[in-house]
Each structure stands twice: as C-alpha cells, then as structure tokens.
Amino acid sequence: MPSSFDTRASRRDIIKGGLAAGAGIALGSLAGSSSAWGAESAASLPLITKTIPASGEKLPVIGLGTNQYSVTSAEDLAARKEVLLNMPKMGGKLVDTARGYGEAEVVIGQLVKEIGNRDKLFIATKTPMRGDLSNPTAVLEESFKRLQVDRIDLLQIHNFSGLNELFPVLKEFKQAKKVRYIGVTTSTDDQYPQMKDAIAKLPLDFIQVDYSIDNRGAGDEILPMAKDKGIAVLINVPLGGRRGSVLAKVGDKPLPAWAAEVDATSWAQLFLKYNISHPAVTAVIPGTTKLAHLEDNQRAGRGRLPDAAMRKKLEEFWATV
C-alpha cells in the first residue's frame, strides 16, 4: 500500500472558485496568483514547523506524497515539475517517495536535477516491498542511483517488508552519514502491532502511519507511543486515501465560519490542520500532482492550528457527515 494518495482528483468539483488553474501561474513565479496562495493571505501567515526529536531540526509540516509520480508524458512531467519547483518557494520541503511507486524515484531524481533545488528539499524514500534481498546493501544503494543523490534525508522500511534484512544496513548507512534519518512505515491497521513493537525496540528517528479525520485508529496508541519515545511522525493518506476521499464526503458543503479561527480557507486546509495539530505529528504528506492542489495544501502549513477544543469540534462535525 502506498504511503500517500492523491485524493484531490475531484477538487475541481469540490472546491469552487478558491484555486487558480496551474496554467495561470508562470513556472517559477507565484506573483499575482489569485489562488489560495494569494499575496494578501497565505504568504503573510507564519510558516508552521515542528521539531524532529532526534536532532532538533525544524521541518515544515506540509510535505508531498508522490505515489502518482511514475509518469512519462510531457504534460504529466511538466505538472510534477511545477510542484517540485514551487513547493520550496511556498515554504514546503519534505518530498516522500518509495521504490514501490513504480518509477517515481527516477522521475523525482531527474526533475530535481533539472530544477537544481536539491538543497531546498528534504527527500525521504522507502525500501522495496518485494524482490531479492540477498544483497541488502545493493538494494539500498539503488535508491541513491534512482534519485541521483549522494545522501538521502530519510530512508524507511516500507510496511515492514524485509525489516530483518534491511534495517541493520539502514543503521550502517546512517552511521556512515549516507542517510540522515531512518524509520519504518505502515498504512494498514493490521500492521499496528508490528509498529508498536518497532517503536518499543528499534532505534527509530521516524515512523510513518495512516491517520485522518475519518481514520483515527493510530491516534489511540501509535501516535502517543511515538511521542513518548521521541520519534518523529509522518502521516500518510491524511485526506482519506483508499478509504474514500474526505473531501468527497464533504462535497459542496459550505466551509463552517469557525474554520477562519485557524486560518483555513478550504476543506483540505481544515482537515490537514486537524492532522498536524496532533501533538505527536511532525508532518503530513498528502499526494499532490498539481500546482493548484500544492497551493491549497501548503497554505494549511501556515497560520493557526486547532487547539483541543477545535479538534473536538471537528470530530463532532465529522460524525454528522
């Protein structure tokens, strides 16, 4: 199961009038945008960052999921290049991918090389979910080649596949400073026991787990446990993923007036702010392939976040959807 999912394919129907078309913004420039990234709003709000416990490094809270980046057409490549180019300009940094996402690593590696902004990105990837693991060092080295990088910021065991074979080499790579942080991921409830065991026993810098307003299971034990252990948390499928798009469920319902209390101007922003307001969560990685969706998502990483009372209000609202 991918760690991120582009759930906003239907945003043109769900969000009306709030976003500019990607074609209306020149590549490399956000000036004059009439979108959610309008100069009068988003850029003036303070950027939200959270601390990676293992190092004290600050990470912007809205990242980028890339399980839809294994593309070949000129149009698709251009759209993804726009996203990778403009995300750092909006304050974003984290790009999460995986060997299991087809040729996504290759596409990202080539596009980032063309753009020349590797130093502005925090690149995370994941180990294979299948295949020959008899030479684990070679297995991990392949991601460096595909991404065209000398160092990977975060290398994760994907859904615990090959954990015993690969994790010892992850630790070696970190010691050799080829990898800055190491972690494990899951996106399914049936692996929560494995995740809890890993949190308890392994020297993890990060975990990655599924969590959203309609999928709060990880909030009961996984997230508090990670916080207690000083482990950073990335959230995959933060807008619902395969369980059905959270945005589709709210449909064309008007955004409640109280959303303005946390500087949210769209449903996506409101629900992403719900995720990142959890005290254990470090960042979320909504799947994003279009500039307009990037703008909407990145705006969620600025301004105010829900407090405990607002989180409760959101949960009570969701129960009525």
Stated length of the chain: 321
C-alpha–C-alpha distance, residues 241 and 4, integer Å: 7
Per-residue pLDDT band at 78 (split at 50, 70, 90) = very high
Which is more confidently placed, 290 or 41? 290
Q: What pLDDT, in 10s, does the model give residues 109-156?
A: 999 999 999 999 999 999 999 999 999 999 999 999 999 999 999 999
Q: What pLDDT, in 10s, does the model give residues 210-255?
A: 999 999 999 999 999 999 999 999 999 999 865 458 999 999 999 9
For the chain, the structural domain boundaries read 46-318
C-alpha–C-alpha distance, residues 11 and 44, integer Å: 25
C-alpha–C-alpha distance, residues 246 and 244, integer Å: 6
Q: What pLDDT, in 10s, does the model give residues 149-194?
A: 999 999 999 999 999 999 999 999 999 999 999 999 999 999 999 9
C-alpha–C-alpha distance, residues 263 and 226, integer Å: 28
Mean pLDDT across the chain, nearest whole number? 88
CATH among 3.40.1710.10, 3.20.20.100, 3.10.180.10, 3.30.930.10 for 46-318: 3.20.20.100
C-alpha–C-alpha distance, residues 54 and 180, integer Å: 10
